[in-house]
Chains A and B, each alone.
Chain A
C-alpha cells in the first residue's frame, strides 16, 4: 500500500467507478479499524466534531446500526433521520430534505433509498459527502467492500478467487457491487438463480451464468447467498419457496457434493430454509457474522477516507486511545 496515497473522491456512490487501487486502499485502511471494535472503550477521536446524517428511506437494521456504530466509534456526531416521521410524509422532496439538513451544517450524508440513482442525484445537488448505503437495485458499495474484506481475511487474497452469487440477482444491489468490486480485484464471478431473477446481458459484465446451483458450487471457492423475498414469488418469478429451495437452496448436501470446503457468505437477513438451510447458516464454513463485524470496520474506513483522513494515519489513529 502506498503510504502517501489519498482517497480523492468526495462521495462513495458505488464500486463501478472505483479502480483497483482505491478498493485496495479502503480494504487496507479497514484493517487497523477492526481492532477498535474489539476494545473495551470502542472509540477514537478521528472524526470528532464531524456531523453525519443517516438518511434512510428504506427500513434497515443491519446497515443503519453498522453505520451508526462506525460513526460513533470515530467520535462523530450522528443523527438518524427517520423518514416515516419526517416531512417526507408531508410530501417534501428528496432534495429539499437534504438541503434543509445541510442548512444545519452537516459534513456527510449516508443515504439508503429505494430508487436506483438517488445518492448520485443527491450528490449532484448538495455540498456534503454522500455515501450510498444502498440504492434500489443499483449498488451497496460498503456491503461489497465488507464482502471482499471477509473473503480476503479467509483466503489471504482476492485475485483468482472464484465466487458464486446465488439467488435473486436481478433485484440485488449487493450482487452488483460484489460483481464490480470482485472483478476489479481479479476474482472470477458467477451468478446462479432462476432465469427470471438473472439480469439481462449480465455476461457482458464478465460474469458466468450457471443455470444449476450444483455447477455453481462445484466451481466456487465461496458462495454469497442472497435473500429471497416473498414478494418475488407473488410476481411469478418462481412458483413457491419450497420449489426455490429444492432447486436453488444452499443445503449441506449440495455443499458436501462439492467435495471440498466452500466458504458461505450471506448479506442478511436470512430466510432459513429458503435460500439457505439452517445447518449451513450455523455451520463451520460460514462467515456470516464475521461479515457483520467487518462491516463496521469497512464503514469506519470509508468515513475516515472521505473525511480526508490520510491512510497512513489510520493505523496511527487506531492506536490512539480515547481517554
Chain B
C-alpha cells in the first residue's frame, strides 16, 4: 500500500486554521491531499476516522526513556510504543540516562534505536554539562550534528548561575533551547512534597514553591541578558507563572511547559503516603492548579508535556521518603488533558492540540504541528466521545507508576501514523452509529 486515506474524521489543524470534517490522503510519508469525499484506489489503505478527531501528531517534549541504563523500567522501544498508544508521534528524550546522553555517540544511539523500534520518532535532548555534573559544558555542537534538538540537565537544576549564563550564551550558536528544571536544591533539601498543611500533618519535609520561583526568575533574567532561547520544564507554581508572564511581556525568548499531573492534582494526592504522587517539582495547592490552567488559557504556558518518568514497582513500593520522584505519563497525558481542560472548559480542543503539537514542535525546532500539503504525515487519530477508565495493567509502558489508575476520562488515541505508516491502532475500533 503506497497510500493511506484517513476518512471521515474531524480534521483539526490549528496552524493552518482548519477545523472541519475532511479526508486526508497520505502518499510517500507526506500529506498529499486534503478534501471532502476523497476516493481511495486499490493501492490505498483506508483508515476509518468517522466520529474521531484527526490532528497533527502530538509531540511529548519531556520523556524519560530510561535507555541506556534502566531498561528494567523502560526502553526506547517500550517507551516509543507507549507514546504511540498515547497518541504521540514524537517524543523528546531526556538525557539523564546511564551513561548520560552528553556526546554524539549517545545521541546517535537513541535515534537509531527509535528507528529500529519503528514507533514514535525520538528527538534526543542532550545534556548541558558533561555527565550532568553541573561543571563543564558538554559538546553541544557535536550532539546537534548527531541529531540533538535542545539541551537540559533535567533531573537536576543548573545550580551555578554563571554556568547557566554561559550555557545560554553558547546555545546561541545553534539557536536551540536550553531547558531548565527549576528547583533550587538547597531549598528543596530532603523535601518530598509541597510545603503546606498536608506535609505538616503527614510529618514530611516540605518544599516551598519559592524553590522554583527563584530559579524561574534567575533563568529568565539570564535569558534576557544573553538573548538566548530558554524553556522552563514542568512549571508547578502560580507565582512562577506571574514571573514568566512579565518576562514574556518584555520580549524575552522564554517558553514553558506544564505536566497534566500538575494541572489536575494537588498535594492532597499524597494522602496515605502515596508514592505515585511523589515527583519533582511536587504537586502543589489548588490555587497553583487554577493559576496553571489560567496560564494555559492565556498563552503564558506554551506546551503540555508529560515528564514521563518510569520507575520500577520495587522502587516505589516503599516508605514515601525513600521512593524516587516521578510518574509515567505517555498513556495518560492526552486523556487527562482533554478531560481537565477541554471538558473542564479551560481550553477548546484546537488550542489543546496547539499546546500538544504545534508549540512543542516550535520550541524544539522540529517538523510537526501541521498537516498542510507536503507536511510529514505524522498524524494522531483521537476519540473524544467515549468515556473510559484508565487501567494501568493495560499500559504499553514497562512501568506502572501512575496516580491515575481507575480515573474516568474522555480522550483516547485510536490510531497513530508516523511518516505515513499506521504504527499503532487500538484493537477494537468501534464505529459509532452514524
User: Which residues of A are interface residues toward B (Cβ below 8 A)?
Assistant: 16, 93-95, 113-118, 120-121, 135-139, 173, 176, 199-202, 204-205
Contact = CB atoms under 8 A, between A and B. Distances in A.
Contacts of A120: 272-273
A94 B319 contact: yes
Contacts of B204: 116-117, 136-138
Interface string B141-156: 0000000000000000
Contacts of B203: 116, 135-139, 173, 176
Interface of B: 195-197, 199-206, 272-273, 314, 317-322
A280 B133 CA distance: 52
B317 A200 contact: no
A176 B205 CA distance: 14
Contacts of A95: 317
A115 B320 CA distance: 7
Contacts of A94: 318-319
Most buried by A among B203, B317, B319: B203
Contacts of A173: 203
B325 to A, nearest CB: 15
Contacts of A205: 197, 200-201
Contact of A118 (B196, B314, B319): B319
B272 to A, nearest CB: 7
Nearest to A115: B319
A21 B271 CA distance: 24
29 contacts: A16-B201, A93-B318, A94-B319, A95-B317, A115-B320, A116-B202, A116-B204, A116-B273, A117-B204, A117-B272, A117-B273, A117-B319, A117-B321, A118-B319, A120-B272, A120-B273, A121-B273, A135-B203, A136-B203, A136-B321, A137-B203, A137-B204, A138-B203, A200-B195, A200-B196, A200-B199, A200-B200, A200-B206, A202-B200
A132 B343 CA distance: 44
Contacts of A204: 197
A16 B201 CA distance: 9
B411 to A, nearest CB: 32
A113 B319 contact: yes
A183 to B, nearest CB: 12
Contacts of A176: 201, 203
Contact of B321 (A16, A93, A116): A116
Nearest to B317: A95
A94 B317 CA distance: 10
Contacts of A113: 319
Contacts of B205: 137
A89 to B, nearest CB: 16
B200 A121 contact: no
B314 A93 contact: yes
Contacts of B320: 115-117
